[in-house]
Amino acid sequence: MQRPPIPVPETSQVVSAAIHLTKIVNWDGTSQDIKQVLTTAFEAKDYLDCIKNLRAQDVDPLSYINSLDKVGSPLIF
């Protein structure tokens, strides 16, 4: 009798929203992957915790807001 194959557990690397928030703050305005960075940050499980206290994530709140404005400007037609 042949045994069924043992399922291999899927591993996914969970990346903190803080990493993506830092990428947003440091966005140079030219990288085209910013939409993906934003999406990944907003979908991160710890996004709400990170956004509640940006300073604890070493993210300056004003810089984050200004960067979101930069990101939003080219996306608005």
Domain assignment of residue 43, yes or no = yes
Is the per-residue pLDDT at 5 higher than 80?
Answer: no
Give residues with Cβ within 8 angstroms of 25, minimum separation 6: 59, 60, 63, 64, 67
Domain assignment of residue 42, yes or no = yes
The pLDDT of residue 76: 46
Q: What is the pLDDT of residues 21-67, one digit of tens each?
A: 999 999 888 888 888 999 999 999 999 999 999 999 899 999 999 99
pLDDT (average), residues 13-24: 86
Domain assignment of residue 46, yes or no = yes
Domain assignment of residue 8, yes or no = no
Domain assignment of residue 4, yes or no = no
Query: Which residues span the domain enclosing 24?
Result: 17-75
Is the whole model's pTM more than 0.95, yes or no? no
Is the per-residue pLDDT at 3 higher than 80?
Answer: no
Query: Total domain count for the chain?
Result: 1
Using CA atoms, how far apart are residues 52 and 48, in angstroms rounded to an integer?
6
